[in-house]
Structure 1
Amino acid sequence: MADDSSGHEAPTRRDYMKYGGAVIGGGLLAGCAGQSESSATPNQTSTETATATATDTETETSPEEGPYTVEMFPVGEVEFESVPESVTTYSMAWADMVISLGQADKLQTDRLSGPTLFYDRFDIDYDRNWPPLWQDGGMPKEVFYEHDPDAFLIDPNLIQAWDNNWDDSDIEEIESNVAPFFGCMNRRFRNGWQKEMGYSEKAPSMLEAFDKVGTVLDERDRVDAWFDLHESLQTEVQSRLPDDGDTPSIGLINSGSSPEKGEFYVLYLEDDGYEMKPYRDLGLVDDDAFAGFETGQYGKTDYETLLEADPDVIVVHWGITTGTVTWGGDGAFDAQKFREKFVTPMEEHEVGSQLTAVQNGRVIPGPTAEQGPLINAFQTELTARLFYPEEFGEIDFESPLDVPEEDQLFDRQRVRDIINGNI
């Protein structure tokens, strides 16, 4: 996250946007090909601890003081006249931040990403009857007026990268006529425009971004409660991780892969950004079977490369939330459809059937990429059970998030209490 400790004036949004559309436009969708949720659209420590307090508090003012400012890369210092009563976002991770703060009623989005899997457990719902931001291969400016929120939790650089009809003047127009942008594309940093602008060094982690959103929404008590829950969960997991180093080699493929066609999109556990947070936190980065392997654009590869790497386990990224969402379902994981799409084609393929993971029945659904505090808590627990079942318990792959109470690594009632404000 940006940290100006030199005493110089905090950078503004214009400072962070200095590269403009000409630089970032070439990064359109890089690294996102094949994701079943987003294919239609476009160096941290091993354990991210719950110490993500604001590093630029000297540049911020309190919502209780009337107009207030919050600073974050890449948007710089953003002023809010009052606490937003409505927010629009495209990222389900940033939506999860809002939901985790008990503010689901403020959320304006059309996105559907596993709400049955996560949110129905707490009777959480939000209005998805909003026009999609992504339409006909772009993000029409008119739809931003139509949403008309008090804040856009969206990275303005991402809009310009995905839609070359946008430039800095369009961003400024929306900020002047509708609402400020306050977001960061911090899921991964593969795109050329992100590298040009130093995202891997400057972008906030998931918890740092959550801290900032909590400041914007004036929810300090809930933020602190989530930090406590996150730290408690991490402490519990870390204290029980086996120290023998005997973990399986992991081959992570995107859920947009097509085993039937022999097309796979490889992902790397070492990648920065919040999507790999569960793997980092459980010390699994060194178990990446694909580390060092050359792949094509967006990590595209084939059965022969998979066989050369021959991972002990093949994990389908986004697997638990793409069971039926993109196939016309309600968001709940569907084990039969997962098997039909990913497992059976591998078993029936001449080369695929030779894979160790296939022969041992270890082609499994993995965590979703999009996660704020609530989803991450479930996914930390899920990942621990995926790779250390002897210690954390076996998973029922018919319902991967259903965990016997004695094996639960965090208190579900505590989550409910935080969301409901019973802190």
Structure 2
Amino acid sequence: MSNEDTAHEAPTRRDYVKYGGTVVGGGLLAGCTGDGGGDSPETDTSTEGSTNEETENPEDASYSVNMSPVGTVEFKEPPQSIFTVLVHHADMALALGYGDAINAMYSPTEFDSRYRLFLDRLDGVSIDWSDLDNAWNIGKERLYDLDSDIHLTDPAYVVAQMDNWDVADTEEVRENIAPWFGNTLSGEHSQAPSPWTDDYQYYTLWEIFEKVSKVFQEERRYQVLTEIHSNLVSTIQSNLPPEVERPRTAYLNIARTGIQDGIWAYSLNQPGFFRASTRPLRANDAFPDLKQFQRIDREALVAADPDVILRTGSMGEGRNWAEIKNELKNDPVTQEILAVQNDRIHPLAVQYGGPILNLFQLEMAAKELYPERFGQWPSYDGGRYPDFSPEEQLFDHQRVADIINGDI
């Protein structure tokens, strides 16, 4: 449609969202300077207010939210169509009542099936992500077709990880379609590419969630969910056994095809929101010298001899949970491991989930690591998250469902 065709039309909701979504004070490249303080390796209980400068103009009802690496982004009203890549951002949108507004994500069929395993335990909360666009290495032209109100994604991550994207492409999308708003490199405190390298700021998962809640004007939902999270972490940490009695734990990703094809050991307690479901549990790391992750062989796992094995990526279709567990038990090398002998091989779902999955994975890991303190994690076949009674739950599942459904 030509400019002449629209020159005398009243601005629509779409116009307000898209053209209100501008970056104030220097554009996309104006990152938020910080000290890289982000996650504490000790705990994930931060609920303090952010250091951003959110402002609101009563004359036009606009508001702005600041987050590294995108700087200050202005909005006229909450976005109604959402492009995401990694699921921690999609999880945040879902938690804030915008799960149906997502139009793209990484591996949508897989994450649709994984999230259903948990959401089945939240009454009235459902998703339908299986037919969304796959956002991984998506073409810039497709973003024009999707015409989203917001790209709830970290542009620095897009440039660093996607083959067909550069800084100029992200600038073009911001100027012609809608703003970027996301932070992903905080997951492992990874170095940002130029031009964000010097100014990139790291946040906890729940600090990112706070900023996203401001974008959608859903701060109250964030506040009640973060209170539940803080209480959960406090409950866990106040009931931990002495450090010397905590299990030596190997946090692993084992290839779906088996232990012969790949074992990756991940740090258990290092900074970054990829450890948001393990670090608060303060278990002893069976690989204490790891900074982030490393590929290992069976012999290295035997040498570490963990008391407990947590295998991430174990839940969902095609994750081969039962097969991998049986392989560890039957392999003549790995069957010597203490965790294998004592049947303390347990699942986790995904490293980079958002606030909803963080609550569930903290609960499940607490039961897996400290059953005498928090109740036994039951025998698991790879299906839905167990149906714990209210007395067995470490957080109120019904309350979380009510919040997501809008009963705040």
> What interval of TM-score do these two structures reach, taking the shorter chain for normalisation?
0.7 to 0.9
Deviations 1:375-400 (CA, angstroms, capped at 9, x unpaired): 21111111110111011111113255
Identical-pair percentage: 32
In the alignment, is the contact (CA less than 8 A) between 2:310 and 2:347 conserved in 1? yes
More strand by share: 2
Counterpart amino acid of residue 379 in structure 2: F
**Cα shift at 1:215:** 0.3
Deviations 1:108-152 (CA, angstroms, capped at 9, x unpaired): 235242222122333323342222122xxx331122122221001
Q: Of residues 345, 355, 366 in structure 1, which corresponds to 2:337?
A: 355
In the alignment, is the contact (CA less than 8 A) between 1:94 and 1:153 conserved in 2? yes
**Cα shift at 1:294:** 10
Where does residue 28 of structure 2 map in the other structure?
Answer: 13
Q: Of residues 285, 288, 300 in structure 2, which corresponds to 1:288?
A: 285
Deviations 1:313-346 (CA, angstroms, capped at 9, x unpaired): 1210122x3x41x45xxxxxxxxx4121x12222
Structure 1 residues 16-415: aligned runs within 5 Å: 16=31, 44-57=40-53, 59-61=54-56, 65-110=60-105, 111=108, 112-113=110-111, 114-122=114-122, 123-128=124-129, 129-134=131-136, 138-186=137-185, 188-189=187-188, 191-193=190-192, 202-243=201-242, 245-256=244-255, 258-261=257-260, 263-284=262-283, 287-292=284-289, 299-319=294-314, 321=315, 323-324=316-317, 326=318, 337-340=320-323, 342-398=324-380, 400-415=385-400
More helix by share: 1
SS in 2 for 1:305: helix
Segment drifting more, 241-250 vs 186-195: 186-195
Counterpart amino acid of residue 142 in structure 1: E
**Residues in 2 aligned to 1:14 and 1:258: alpha-carbon distance in whole angstroms:** 42
SS in 2 for 1:406: coil
In the alignment, is the contact (CA less than 8 A) between 2:56 and 2:63 conserved in 1? yes
* CA shift in 2, pair 1:408/1:400, >3 Å: same
**Residues in 2 aligned to 1:258 and 1:307: alpha-carbon distance in whole angstroms:** 20
**Residues in 2 aligned to 1:168 and 1:109: alpha-carbon distance in whole angstroms:** 21
* CA shift in 2, pair 1:120/1:194, >3 Å: farther
In the alignment, is the contact (CA less than 8 A) between 2:68 and 2:200 conserved in 1? no
In the alignment, is the contact (CA less than 8 A) between 1:11 and 1:77 conserved in 2? no
**Cα shift at 1:306:** 0.9
SS in 1 for 2:164: coil
**Residues in 2 aligned to 1:195 and 1:247: alpha-carbon distance in whole angstroms:** 42
SS in 2 for 1:421: coil
**Residues in 1 aligned to 2:291 and 2:276: alpha-carbon distance in whole angstroms:** 23
Counterpart amino acid of residue 55 in structure 1: T
In the alignment, is the contact (CA less than 8 A) between 1:104 and 1:124 conserved in 2? no
SS in 1 for 2:56: coil
CA RMSD, Structure 1 to Structure 2 (Å) = 2.9
In the alignment, is the contact (CA less than 8 A) between 1:378 and 1:401 conserved in 2? no
In structure 2, runs of 5+ residues without a counterpart are 1-23, 34-38
**Cα shift at 1:50:** 4.4
Where does residue 6 of structure 1 map in the other structure?
Answer: none
In the alignment, is the contact (CA less than 8 A) between 2:82 and 2:103 conserved in 1? yes
In the alignment, is the contact (CA less than 8 A) between 1:385 and 1:393 conserved in 2? yes
Counterpart amino acid of residue 146 in structure 1: D
Deviations 1:17-37 (CA, angstroms, capped at 9, x unpaired): 99xxxxxxxxxxxxxxxxxxx
Counterpart amino acid of residue 338 in structure 1: W
Q: Of residues 396, 402, 408 in structure 2, which corresponds to 1:417?
A: 402
**Residues in 2 aligned to 1:275 and 1:63: alpha-carbon distance in whole angstroms:** 39
* CA shift in 2, pair 1:65/1:205, >3 Å: farther
**Cα shift at 1:61:** 3.0
TM-score w.r.t. structure 2 length?
0.82
In the alignment, is the contact (CA less than 8 A) between 1:69 and 1:80 conserved in 2? yes
Where does residue 4 of structure 2 map in the other structure?
Answer: none
Counterpart amino acid of residue 388 in structure 1: Y
**Cα shift at 1:299:** 1.1
Counterpart amino acid of residue 322 in structure 2: R
**Cα shift at 1:236:** 2.2
Moved >4 Å (runs of 4+)? 9-12, 62-65, 194-201
Deviations 1:11-56 (CA, angstroms, capped at 9, x unpaired): 75213399xxxxxxxxxxxxxxxxxxxxxxxx51512224142211
* CA shift in 2, pair 1:413/1:17, >3 Å: closer
TM-score w.r.t. structure 1 length?
0.79
SS in 2 for 1:144: helix
In the alignment, is the contact (CA less than 8 A) between 1:107 and 1:127 conserved in 2? no
